[in-house]
Amino acid sequence: MTTARGPLTGIRVLELGGIGPGPFCGMMLADMGADVIRVDRPGSSGHPVLHRNRRSLAIDLKARDGVVAVRKLVATCDAVLEGFRPGVAERLGLGPDELLAANPGLVYGRMTGWGQDGPLAQTPGHDINYIAIAGALHPIGTAADPVPPLNLVGDFGGGGMLLAYGLTCALLHAKTTGVGQVVDAAMVDGAAALMAMTYGFLATGTWQDQRAANRLDGAAPFYRVYRCADQKHMAVGCIEPQFFAAFLDVLGLTDDPDFAAQNDRTTWPTQHRRLEEIFAEQPRDHWAERFTGTDACTTPVLSLHEAPEYPHNTSRGTYRDTNGMVQPMPAPRFTTTPAECPRPAPRPGQDTRKVLADAGLTDQDVDTLINTGTAIQT
């Protein structure tokens, strides 16, 4: 028997605006069935994917009446998340002290780059800055230069997903104890946590503190990307000896002496050159077909347009064309409480009346907020 909507059905979360990692956290929770209410600024615009599965309340948090209304809404919520610079929520009258005093079981999630304290807490920054000082940017790139890994490591993996995990942990604690708390999710901390395996290797002497010098950073010929004749690429990841053997078999290199010792670093430059020459002889799709069905751990590097059409992804429904656009589907998957196909992102203010009514405001109260411009119903 399955129960629709996802494992967080029955949990209500208030998301106080924000961009990037905060909305991604809200999306993760909403995808799993939580009732996530996003507080948008009147006149703001939304994101078509990150804001999916929400309800939207457009209200001015700089107006006293707006803050009072939001406080009433918080009383009906299990969690709040915000991504302001430290101290901003307190100045608005929506800090954790005020909200926890009114709702002791509340979980209050805070998403920042540097954290709520420390010398850089009030300094502006972006993903690239946070992962730089976390030690996560330095190992990624060419031997000469680090290369930003989009904003996946700081904003999303070390940020929004970390906060979603932290909120869920704190919600479990609140469910068993009735006691809420503050979750301080800093992207610099999250990026550092993602480096756990690498720091373990460093401590045991199996990782060199330089780029393109290790098994997983492009130095090894069996774990890197190769350019093909059509300027597209193949990803090679045959680390284990049996997979390396399968890789060599496809390429006809099984008996080649240059490839006899997989982990002999002195042979890596020669192997690199040979493999670059071989892959450059044919287009990517030729190699993709050759490696299909083998244990060589070698796959095509797909573009954003190609990935949703790849047979494995279409079989699992990893991407779908829904709400007028191709987007990734909710993950992970659950057998008893599966998530639904995402609902479209709301227009900012689309649910203002209903959300405020849920908070206990009367029709007259809501009309007053809308007539004064404090709240917007779109």
**Residues that are catalytic:** 126, 155
DSSP string, 187-240: HHHHHHHHTHHHHHHHHTT-S-SSTT-STTTT-STTEEEEE-TTS-EEEEE--S
Closest CA to 267 of 228, 310, 231, 219: 219
Nearest to 173 by CA among 301, 79, 35, 298: 79
In contact, 107 and 80? CB cutoff 8 Å: yes
What does R_g of the chain's alpha carbons equal in angstroms?
25
Q: How far out from the chain centre does Cα 86 lie? A: 22
Enumerate the β-bridge partners of residue 182: 108
**Residue among 338, 328, 343 nearest 9 (CA):** 338
In angstroms, the CA 46 to CA 208 distance is 44
Query: Sheet containing 223-227: which strands, arranged edge to edge?
Result: 223-227, 233-237, 298-300
CA distance 143 to 154: 22
Cβ atoms of 345 and 49 closer than 8 Å = yes
Write out the E strands in 243-376: 298-300, 319-322, 325-328, 375-376
- Count the Cβ atoms, other than its own, within 10 Å of residue 105: 17
If you ran DSSP here, which 8-state letter would residue 70 be given? H
Strand ordering across the sheet containing 79-82: 181-186, 107-112, 79-82, 12-16, 35-40, 54-59, 375-376
Determine if residue 218 is left, alpha or beta; phi over 0 gives left, psi from -120 to 50 gives alpha, anything else beta. Answer: left
